Amino acid sequence: MRAVIQRVSRARVTVEGDTTGAIEHGLLLYLGVASGDGPAEVEWLVRKVAELRIFGDAEGRIDRSVEEAGGSVLVVPQFTLYADTRKGRRPSFFDAAPPDVAEQLVERVIAELRDRGVPVEAGRFGAHMLVESENDGPVTILLDSIDIERPRRG
């Protein structure tokens, strides 16, 4: 899984003029799913998103998570995070998971964040979405499940 996380003062996603999700203080999470992603990647990403300390505390230090700060998360599925632009001018999306698999894993991320008590709104999978946001900071973080610490073989 690959994610671009932005700390926002507000964010909203619309599909065909209808708002499908809107938040105030929190995180805008653009989420891409790779072929081969599964429960381990979901668990890793949910923990990182919920616990990443990128909000200010009472003294102004960046030392609180979205959970601690009482923020929300707006999830926007985005397969283009797996664009391969190494050859030619047209990106390849070969590494992105098939839509049916990706949609299930995006829904699982949303459900597991909610299970942790984080309010979550979302865009609509597979739709053309318009996203508005006010980046706070700005703070933008890249996450990639390739960074999961895995046991060494041998």
Active site residues: 78-80
- What distances in angstroms separate CA 96 from CA 15, 57, 66, one per listed residue? 22, 37, 27
Residues contacting 75, CB < 8 A, separation 6+: 21, 29, 31, 106, 109, 110, 113, 120, 121, 122, 123
Residues contacting 18, CB < 8 A, separation 6+: none
